[in-house]
Each structure stands twice: as structure tokens, then as C-alpha cells.
Chains A and B, each alone.
Chain A
Amino acid sequence: MSYAYLFKYIIIGDTGVGKSCLLLQFTDKRFQPVHDLTIGVEFGARMITIDSKQIKLQIWDTAGQEAFRSITRSYYRGAAGALLVYDITRRETFNHLTTWLDDARQHSNSNMVIMLIGNKSDLESRREVKKEEGEAFAREHGLVFMETSAKTAANVEEAFINTAKEIYEKIQEGVFDINNEANGIKIGPQHSPTNPSLPGSGSSGGSQGSGCC
């Protein structure tokens, strides 16, 4: 399918906070109650529309376990957006946010949009982290904040789409160097301004779209 832009996201956060569930909810619209540990990095993609433009989101859902940190770190660099997830029912996942944020800032490109997500908002009775705390943390670190539930799908869509909007705005503002794929943004085949001089590119790409997925 053809797209105007391809944005790459990474989802990070402690193990068990619901990263994989968020992805599954976003891509497949379903919820998996059994915890299937992510071993390595899982991957999902979905098309969204922003400003009447087709945007393909490619999302890396990383393993939260410490053991996989070295593997997952390498994924920061190619991402334009990150969902930093904690579990509102487990304070320690909130406490680890700074570590995650440092890690992300260190290994990603500086323009990466980071969305802070307090997941499992459906488990209000077991809440350990107040919404205000999350908001405060986000304000302090310049993040966008949102509470979601991968179970009920509340705010899941919004979390991904708002991040994309943010990235899109940054592109419009010229903050992102869209020609550097390391930023996690790719221009769709037919929109590619990189090689407009190539004689065939216009005719070939226009109808063909991306070969992948």
C-alpha cells in the first residue's frame, strides 16, 4: 500500500506494563490476557491518516526485561517516536521511567517524539500511580502524557495517532531531516524528493507504492 510517510515507533518500558498489548490492540484490535513475554523485539504496522495523508506506522515493541536491553537499545536510533509505557498499578514501573528516558535520549536521535503512557487505566482499583504524577513527570521532561488501557482500548488509538501528529508537525516545521532515514521517517516511494532527477522514478513509483508489506 502506498503511503506518504512511514514513521517508525518504538515502545519501551518495564516488562509487563502492557507494551505488547498496546501494540496488539492498535494493530489487531484485540487483547491478549496471557502475558507472553516479548523476547527481543516484536513488530507491527498499521496505516493511519493524518491531514488526509496516508501514514504508515511501523512499530517496534521491545522487550522490557533487563536482559534484552542491549538488543533493544539498537532500535532507538531508527525511531521517530517512542511510547514510554508504565503500569499505573505498579509504582516501580513508574519509578524506572527516568532510566528509560535517559536510555532513550542517549541512543535516539534528539528529535524523537516521546509519549508517556500510563497503561492499565481500567484497573482503577489497583492504581498506584496517580494520573497527576504522570502528568507532572511528562511536564517535567517535555513529554506528551496519556493514560490508556490496552484491555478496553481506551486512548490506545489516540496515543499512537497523537504521536504521529506530533511527528508530522515537526516535519512541517522542518525539525526532522526527512532524508535521513536514521530519524525513523521515510517518505513514500511516490513522494520521494530525494531523487527527483531519476528519470524513471516518477513513472515507476507512482502506481507501484512500496514493495514491502
Chain B
Amino acid sequence: MTTQPPLAIEATGLVKSFGETRAVDGVDLAVRSGTVYGVLGPNGAGKTTTIRMLATLLRPDEGSARVLGHDIVRDAETVRELVSLTGQLASVDEDLSGHENLVLLGLLLGLRRAAAKTRAGELLAAFGLSEAAGKLVKHYSGGMRRRLDIAASIVVTPQLMFLDEPTTGLDPRSRNQVWDIIRTLVAEGTTILLCTQYLDEADQLADRIAVIDRGTVIAEGTPAQLKASVGSGALHVRLLDPEQRPAAAQLLERDLGSVHLEPDPAGVSAPCSDADRAAEAVAELSRAGVRIGGFSLGQPSLDEVFLALTGRTAEEQTEDPAGDLHEEQAA
């Protein structure tokens, strides 16, 4: 035994194939207890399949994993007692009300009916869903559904939580609400494995990130390390007049080293993580008579991460984003 803090998840060489597709092709993960671990990857990378194996819903073809010290195949029952899963498809019952959903889970987790009701009310209040408590979930908005979904995962506080793309499809406000919930959960000591397609989400929440692509981990580290390896952030400039883009690109290249012409004909960006230098470069553009519609200093997008790590963009290998899970359920 080592003196290291215990690992909440320890996976080695996980493989899962569906027919010809090797959905997960040798994934190793090491997640410290009490941290948020981000799994970042484009559509079809194998995020959901990895989570489903770790949550004991799928049996790996090869490799092994221990979750909170228990083998996911041999001790699956014990693992299920300690973790909870918020799936990519809303894992709540659409034909019941929010309150009924939470009471049902309370009962299934061993609470008495009165306790289950109290807990349901408490969670609905905490998640801003009291008013919608009696409404059927199928009438909920996407953000409400997600919050209920997370509430359903913590009816009894899990030691480890799997969150599969908790903010995909949410508006910025709902997204922030979900992020706040996740931060609070972590502060209370829950370990979280978070799958996401958004680098900024992983950056905001995760202590460490694994980037996965075509079923394998292609990069791993803290958000800072990852961004550094990708070339940190970027200055994005929108021009009022696309005609001026060549001139702007030239200036930015001179000031910041290199430029990237965005798909938007009026957009141009350059790698830069230093706000002072970015401000200087923008001022420079302005002085040279380039008319600027707007600018921002942002982090590299998942696209840019992929470009840097694999030499191709995430979109080039995107597969049907919604279809796969349905197929899987019907099979």
C-alpha cells in the first residue's frame, strides 16, 4: 500500500467494442477522491461508454477498473451503493412529476415514505424547483430537467457522481446554475467524473482533465497544463469590414506571432494569454485604421485543442450526436 491519497477511480486498459466499432479502446484513468475530473472529447469519442462501464451498466471487454476501491465487475453491487449517475439522456421519469421522481428514488434507496417526501421537498427547494414540483417532467424546460436530474442523483449523497454532459443544450443562465450546483457538491466532498464537450466547462470545474478521442486518452493533465500545451488562450477580433481582414491579420501576426482566420469572414484570432499584450494589439489595429466590431480574450475552444493535439478538428470525425444512444437503448 502506498501513502498516496486513495484513488476514487482507477481504470486500466478499458476496452469496449460494439460490433466493428471500438467505442473505448484502452482507457486509463486515475481520479483522486474529492476532486472533479473532466473527460473531454467530441461526439462519439467514447465518453458515455466509459462512464457506463464505470457505473457498472456495461461490462468492459478488456481491462479493469476499481471505483472507490471496489472492482466494477466483481463488486458491482457495492459500487452501485456508493455512486450515482446522471446520464446524457435525462435520467428522470418524464411521465411523473418532479416531486414524485425524487420520492420514488428516495424509496428505492431505502428511505421511509415520510423521509423520502421531506428529502424531495428539501431538494426541490434547493434547486429552485418548488413551484414546478407537481408538474410532469415532460413539461419542464431543459434546464429544469437537468437540475432535477442532478437532484435525483443526490437524494442520498453519493461518494462519487458521474455526470454525462450536464450542460449540453442549456442556455448560459441554466449552465451557470448547474455549474454552481456542481461546485457546491464538490465543496461538500463528493468526487465527480464529468464528461463534457466544452473545454471552458472542464476548465471552470475540473481539477484534472483527460482528453479522449476515438476511444483513447490523447492528453491528460491540469487545465493549465492542457491549455499551455495547446498554446493557451486566444484573442478573437471581429471586424466591421471583412475587406480589412488581410490587413488585420498581418498586424496581429506581427504583434502576437501567428494568426488564425476564423470561418466567419469577419473574424480573426491570434494565440495570446496575456491581457496586456492583447489590449496592446487591439489598440495597434485601431491606430492602423482597422474598424473593430468587438473583441474578446478567450480560451482555446475544443476545436483548437483538437487541432493542436491531433492535427485535425473535432468536427472532422463527428458522428451522429443523438442517434447513438437511442440505438444502444433499443438494442
Q: Do A and B come from one complex?
A: no
A residues within 8 Å of B by Cβ?
A: none
